[in-house]
Amino acid sequence: MNTLTGAWDWLGDPAHWSGDDGVWHRLAQHLVLTVVCLVISCLIALPVALVLGHLGKGGALAVNISNIGRAVPTFAVLVLLLLTPLGKWGEGPTVVALVLFAVPPLLTNAYVGMREVDRSVVRSARGMGMTGRQMLFHVELPLSLPMVMNGVRIAAVQLVATATIAALAGGGGLGRIITAGFNLASTPQVVAGAILVAVFALIVEGIFEIAERLAPRCARGIR
């Protein structure tokens, strides 16, 4: 209980919220890293997954890439990138590592979603004379949207977690409050930072949960 009140006091001190090491600045860094990397990963992964899913090719790769992503430790990749020439370029290693770990869930979910679209619906679309492009955008994509969005949600949560670990390798973000706490041997600061990170992650998860509930019925999928 002592540590919790300590953490509470740490969070209550306005001095800890301002400045370059302050909570607001770290929160902004974390948010920018997450959003920017989510957009980059979506731009890379979704077109590839949608085209592969539409053509029905490259399935083994698209499905197995998630397993590969899980086996490779994020911390190891962050440190490896830091020691390459890329490491001199500020947040470079963090951005690359974040994108690398957000792409697999996006790719796998979007691909599986595309392949799970009822084949008879796809065939009737073809029978109606739809072109490949029309089928992709008017039939397959809308029907696979719930799975695609599930992938985006998993990727977003993964990004928040990886961005936190990036602090161990010198990256910015809320994780820095935790690592600084460890360096100062200040348990209250460590716990305060952890609470901030956990709340941030739960808010991100919550936003997707609410978006899913508010989405029109057709986009929600039948589960």
Partner 1 sequence: MTAPPDDCLARNEWICGEYLSTRRQILLDAVVQHLQLTAVSVLVGLVIAVPLAVLARRWGWAAGPVLAVTTILYTIPSLAMFSLLLPVYGLSATLVVSGLVLYSLTLLVRNILAGLRAVPEETRQAARGMGYGPIRLLLTVELPLAVPASMAGLRIATVSAVSLVTVGAIVGFGGLGNLIYAGMNTYFKAQVLTASVLCVVIAVAADLLLLAVQRLITPWTRAARG
- For partner 1, which is the closer residue by CB, 113 or 175? 175
Q: Is 112 one of the binding residues for partner 1 (CB under 8 A)?
A: no
Report, in Å, the least distance between residue 74 CB and partner 1: 7
Residue at 111: amino acid letter: Y
Residue 208: Cβ within 10 Å count: 16
83 near partner 1, judged by CB under 8 A: yes
Q: Are 26 and 174 in contact (CB under 8 A)?
A: yes
**Residue 178 CA, distance from chain mean position:** 20
Name which position in 98, 141, 152, 197 contacts partner 1 (CB under 8 A): 197
Considering the rule CB under 8 A, would residue 35 count as an interface residue with partner 1? Answer: no
Q: Which of 35, 39, 55, 72 binds partner 1 (CB under 8 A)?
A: 72
Instruction: Say how far apart CA 197 and CA 203 lie, in whole Å.
Output: 10
Stretch 142-161: interaction string toward partner 1, x if CB under 8 A: ---------------x--xx
Interface with partner 1, residue 4, by CB under 8 A:
yes
**Surface-to-core class of residue 123, CB atoms within 10 Å of its CB (0-12 exposed, 13-18 middle, 19+ buried):** exposed
Binding residues for partner 1, rule CB under 8 A, total 40
180 binds partner 1 (CB under 8 A): no
Our CB check for partner 1 shows the closer of 130 and 187 to be 187
Strand segments (E) across the chain: none
Q: Which two tokens stand for residue 46?
A: 């979704």
What is the C-alpha to C-alpha distance for residues 69 and 66, in angstroms, rounded to an integer?
5
Q: Does 70 bind partner 1 (CB under 8 A)?
A: yes
Task: Give the residue among 65, 209, 46, 62 at the shortest CA–CA distance from 141.
Answer: 46
Residues making contact with partner 1 (CB under 8 A): 2-4, 67, 70-77, 79-80, 82-83, 157, 160-161, 164-165, 167-169, 175, 178-179, 181-182, 187, 190-191, 193-195, 197-198, 201-202, 205
